[in-house]
Amino acid sequence: MLSTRAALLPSRLTVATKAAVVAGHRQAALTAVRSRDSVRSIQSVVQTDRDTITRLLYSLGTKREVERHLRIFSSCSHPSQPAKFAVIKIGGAVLDDLEELALSLSFLYRVGLYPVVLHGAGPQMNDILEGEGVKPEYIDGIRVTDSKTLQIARRVFLEENLKLVDALEKLGTRARPITSGVFTATALDSPKYGLVGKITRVDKRPIEASIRAGALPILCSLAESNEGQILNVNADVAAGELAKELEPMKIVFINEKGGLYHGVTGEKLDVINLDEEYDQLMKEPWVKYGTKLKLREFKELLDVLPRSSSVAVISTANLQRELFTDSGAGTLIRRGYKLFKHQTLQSIGKDRLRQVISERDEGVRTGKESIAGVLSALENAKPGEWSIYADEPLDAVAIVSHPEGQIPVLTKLLASRAGVLNGVLDNVWNALKKDHRQLVWTASISAPTAPSPLSHPAQGEDMMDRSWHFDRAEGSFTRSGRSLFFYGISDASEVEKVVKNLEQSGRVGRSYLPVGLVKAQLGGSRGYATLARRPGVPNGSRGYATHAPPPSTEPKRVTLIGARGYTGQALTSLLNTHPYLSLTHVSSRVLEGHALEGYAKSPITHTNLSVENVERMEKQGEVDAWITALPNGVCKPFVDAIEKGSKERQGEGSVVVDLSADYRFEDGWTYGLPELYGRADIRASKRISNPGCYATSTQLLIAPLLPYLAPPAWPTVFGVSGYSGAGTVTRPGEAGTRPLTLPKVTPESLGGGIRPYSLTDHIHEREAGWHLSKLLSATLNAKPRVQLAFIPTVAPFFSGILSTLSFPLSTSTLSASDIASLYASHYAGERLVRTQKGVPSLGDVQGQHGWVVGGVQVHSGLERVVVVGGLDNLLKGAATQCLQNLNLALGYDEYAGIPVEGDAA
């Protein structure tokens, strides 16, 4: 039962929201009038407005909790797919309380979120029909619609749509009425239902155009046939079809009840995990009529959406609480995963568990523990002394040690980003909490001292911050960055007893235990301790914050060795617009004496730098960063000269980014694929090997699927590249003129077709397998090798790579939407990665600075998935990735000088 204070929160938040939204609107308008020429002033007010409303959310949950949800929702959309946040369906009855509805939607708008809003108007239509002496008629729950009813429906929909748009605009929230052009339909059953439509197509372009223009799209559920006939469509059905097309993270149904309710007890259902509970729920005697229909509709909808999507049934007043807190306020319906409780390594799969530990366990990745030690402890324990809670794909894994007569200890809690995002971690936590009325566990608050190259977006650590632990504990001790958490322990004397037992048994590391007596710790100053926190009451003081240093803006000097080829030209163009980097020397033997084209910051003439020149320049500190864009096997003398010069250089040596394959397998060099192998090592490195173009696309395709490898069946990648990837040749110009740079393979030589080459043992095949093996590495002494087959092909277009992956699966439980969701989760927040539904085409990659993936299809036998990825071989496959690495190593923002899609010009 809610406390009085908690019960009052929604109403107080509504009042505060109204004040903040209206005040923010007025202040923004006033500032705009006073400072029409100051874009910065207006942007500052907008940011202040957002910050103010974000702070209001903290009254609903902890600061970390709110910020985590904001971060997840903000990162789920991309400029190319801006409608990924939410579809909100508003029942007609809710439109009667227009002010509160507009405030709730404006709230989302002001924190930078753009839901797609679709409304009904059933009660309003019934009032008008009854006023005109027409009794509404329903068959099978569907409104029978004749021409008069349709005429009224159209008028009512337009009126209600404009009312909502007007209410939003008055609050300073831009909104766009979209009452046609989205839904195409055919007649459902004309003799039976009249002018009622069955949606056959959803055109999302008007919706996305509205969001890109900074306006909330407000839709109604009218459709048109191909012949132009307007058709009435049930609003719930329209919302479902809209969600299938957009694949949003949230599908929200706002009604007066604010949730689904238990038919016997009358209590609101908080969460329904369909994979776990659907079959049993449908057998319950109290689940009937409307409730059974709703559950069936929700399941059919979520079955075709990614697992990251969920449905929420909520009232207007509690919309923010549902979206921005873990506890929610309405009813959350999600697919979830069936959970399993394992008590033998054989039942979970020893090799699968080994891989999860190697990828996600901080202690293992930093060398403080070994996988062999973790597995050995489980194998040597007595039967029944431990349990592993996990879902089938192992997106969330919890290992609990519970010897008879001793307090249970959670020894491992390992989650992927998908596990956190899709609520699997919460399900696992709830399962183990049901089994154990008391529990102790630990977490390190300080950052790892040695970041691992295995750190990548599949890990959920950045989304499961330490406040996650604090929020689920009833008490804790913290000292020197290490915390001991517990629940189910009622008083200090019992805590003291537990701590002594843990110390004597060695079941928890000594560094996590409080120093001295527990009673002294509760009032002492050595660390801090909390006890018996009331569940559900936010306590923002218990969180912590870390702040990364601001990116550097210090100007730096770059020398490019190997500027003649297409990659050198692409690099020159990028550096020409970089805010902090300037080219000082450009070396090309063939172009020596000729002016550098495409660079406007300063006039530069090509030189032919010798090894001696390079050593001298490095020794005298003339260069901050070197880029070597030379053919394979050529750059070593230059790198050796830089190494020699740096030893005699005063101060810090320069950074080298090499674009050849020469150092991609070398110790002492950092492999620069930020999206997979982490940024920390690149930031700390002076020697970076830039990945190959094919190898980049291949690794980005395979990495999210590594947990589902099925050796000895290995993946195959078929790659098609533009002819620029084959390199260039030069031809002397006429007397005194500039030499010509020509493609080594011309389109004409291909005769309009494609040409496979290097059919086995291509260097990028070895490169991709080598580095993917690191992601799969189990222990320092056992390094399983990832094998793959790669077949490159050159085609008669200039640039771009399309890579088609065929990946054998170790499980038959994954659908195409599951795997698409896996990619979306794995690369969530990556600004140079875009996921899409359709198969990437050449137009999706040519001239683009990122990597795109899509076209996921699972074979009918469920044993193989095919995925297509693509990039521009000269950009993300070379120059853009080089600039990412250079930015990180020099302390700049990673994307400085890179035209990231969606950034303001």
| pLDDT tens-place string over residues 231-270 | 999 999 999 999 999 999 899 999 888 888 887 777 888 8
Tell me how far CA of residue 194 lies from CA of 158, 227, 688, in angstroms. 21, 16, 68
Q: Which two tokens stand for residue 858?
A: 């699972």
Query: What's the rounded Cα separation, in Å, for the pair 323 and 242?
Result: 20
Q: Which amino acid is at 115?
A: P
Residue 370: pLDDT above 60? yes
Could you tell me which residue, 307 or 616, shows the higher pLDDT?
A: 616
Would you call 220 a catalytic residue per the annotation? no
Q: Which residue has the higher pLDDT, 218 or 97?
A: 218
Q: Nearest-CA neighbor of 245 among 821, 869, 837?
A: 837
Instruction: State the residue for tokens 């000088």.
Output: 897
Residue 205 φ then ψ, to 5°:
-60, -45
Q: Tell me: the pLDDT tens digits for 397-413?
A: 999 999 988 899 999 99
pLDDT cut 70: percent of the chain above it? 82
User: What crossing angle do the helices spanning 636-647 and 611-619 adopt, rounded to 10°?
Assistant: 30
Q: Which of 98-107, 139-148, 544-553, 878-887 has the lowest mean pLDDT?
A: 544-553
Q: Are strands 864-871 and 801-808 parallel, antiparallel or unpaired?
A: antiparallel
Q: What is the percentage of the chain residues whose pLDDT exceeds 90?
A: 44
Please tell me the pTM assigned to this model.
0.50
Catalytic residue selected from 220, 635, 693, 882: 693
pLDDT of residue 805: 97
- Report the alpha-carbon distance of residue 601 to residue 582 in Å, rounded: 8
| Contact indicator for 790, 719 with CB cutoff of 8 Å | yes
Determine the 3-state secondary structure of 231 from DSSP.
strand
pLDDT tens digits along 155-179: 999 999 999 999 999 999 999 999 9
Would you state the pLDDT for residue 533?
Answer: 37
What is the structure's pLDDT at 584?
94
**Could you tell me if 107 and 17 are in contact, meaning their C-beta atoms sit under 8 angstroms apart?**
yes
